[in-house]
Amino acid sequence: MQRKKFKTQDMRYIKSMRCINRAIAYFILIAASIIAIFPIYWLLSSALKAAKDIWIMPPIFLFKPDFSHFVTVIKERSLFKYFVNSLIVSSGSTGIALFLGSLAAYALTRYSMKGGKHIAFWIISLRMMPPIVVILPLYILFTRVGLVDTHIGLILAHITLTLPFAVWMLMGFFKEIPLAIDEAALIDGCTTMGVLFKVVLPLIRGGLVATAVFCILWSWNDFIFAFSLTTTDAATLPVLISGFLGDYVWEWSSFYATGVVAAAPIMLLALFTQKYLVRAMTFGAVK
């Protein structure tokens, strides 16, 4: 009888500890979510406030939305042109990086070559290089060949950093595919390139999506290449955003409105591809 009483008390203690641990876990998750979401809320709310209410203290949380700032940056600051430039540059650099990265990663993981590991490390070491190091050489080169302030020039500049990342990322996914699949496809009459594009790449489509998202994210947010290698024709959204905060004039309303437009596509992209991003964190190159 005494043993049964102690057992009942132990079960109650265990249940109470589980409830406490669960409450602490929920509290931590809610606090972390608020910390992560608050900058997004502040960006969006500031873009919808009247100019005089942005920095008023204490902050105003209930207000009538004002969309005039978005109309201003669209009409007066050619927002659509910068948005299209960002779209062209990020998609172009990502597409080329995925194509060339797939070829390089497949060769490094499927064929034995002297110094193959050193080649792979040399490729990823290029991604470790600070972008500012290559700005001046690229600017001199692009000036001589007429690629300054062009989409092609900025795409080529972005590839110098997105390609090494794509190669290293895709190598991890290729290594998870058994070599026997390639051999079976070759026996069935498939060419080497056919094995890559018809058999292997469809098997790692999740890895391709994850790699593409990371490449787009970096290219979309790049400022230093776009600021140094473009002026007006091929300038991207980060360059436009930086122009709102000068030495004497701070256009906070336009700054926040353009920030919302720049952040929205990336957030939507991450939302629709989150299952591939989670998989990339637990599988392949980032494992």
CATH number of 68-286: 1.10.3720.10
**pLDDT of 238 over the 60 cut:** yes
The CA-CA-CA angle for residues 210, 285, 86, to 5°, reads: 35
Structure tokens at 230: 């473009």
Domain parsing of the chain, residue ranges: 2-53, 68-286
What's the whole-number mean pLDDT along residues 140-153? 90
Please give the share of the chain, as a percent, with pLDDT higher than 70.
89
pLDDT given for residue 10 in this prediction: 60
Structure tokens at 36: 């992560």
Please give the share of the chain, as a percent, with pLDDT higher than 90.
15
Residues 245, 247: Cα–Cα separation, whole Å: 7
Instruction: Report whether 227 contacts 200 (CB < 8 A).
Output: no
pLDDT given for residue 116 in this prediction: 65
Tell me which range, 49-63, 166-180, 268-282, is most confidently predicted by mean pLDDT.
166-180
Structure tokens at 31: 């606090």
pLDDT given for residue 287 in this prediction: 44
**pLDDT of 119 over the 70 cut:** yes
- The model carries a pTM of 0.81
pLDDT given for residue 283 in this prediction: 55
Residues 219, 71: Cα–Cα separation, whole Å: 26
Banded pLDDT at 284 (limits 50, 70, 90):
very low
What's the whole-number mean pLDDT along residues 195-222? 87
Q: What is the rounded average pLDDT for all residues in the chain?
A: 82
Banded pLDDT at 249 (limits 50, 70, 90):
low
Which position has the higher pLDDT, 7 or 209? Answer: 209
pLDDT given for residue 2 in this prediction: 47
Structure tokens at 178: 């058994």
Which position has the higher pLDDT, 115 or 198? Answer: 198
Instruction: Report whether 241 contacts 262 (CB < 8 A).
Output: yes
Residues 232, 243: Cα–Cα separation, whole Å: 12
Residues with Cβ within 8 Å of residue 53, at least 6 apart in sequence: 60, 63
**pLDDT of 131 over the 90 cut:** no
Nearest CA to 132 out of 28, 270, 224, 45 is that of: 224
**pLDDT of 150 over the 80 cut:** yes
Banded pLDDT at 219 (limits 50, 70, 90):
very high
Residues with Cβ within 8 Å of residue 166, at least 6 apart in sequence: 97, 98, 100, 101, 102, 105, 211, 215
Positive or negative torsion for Cα 118, 123, 124, 128: positive
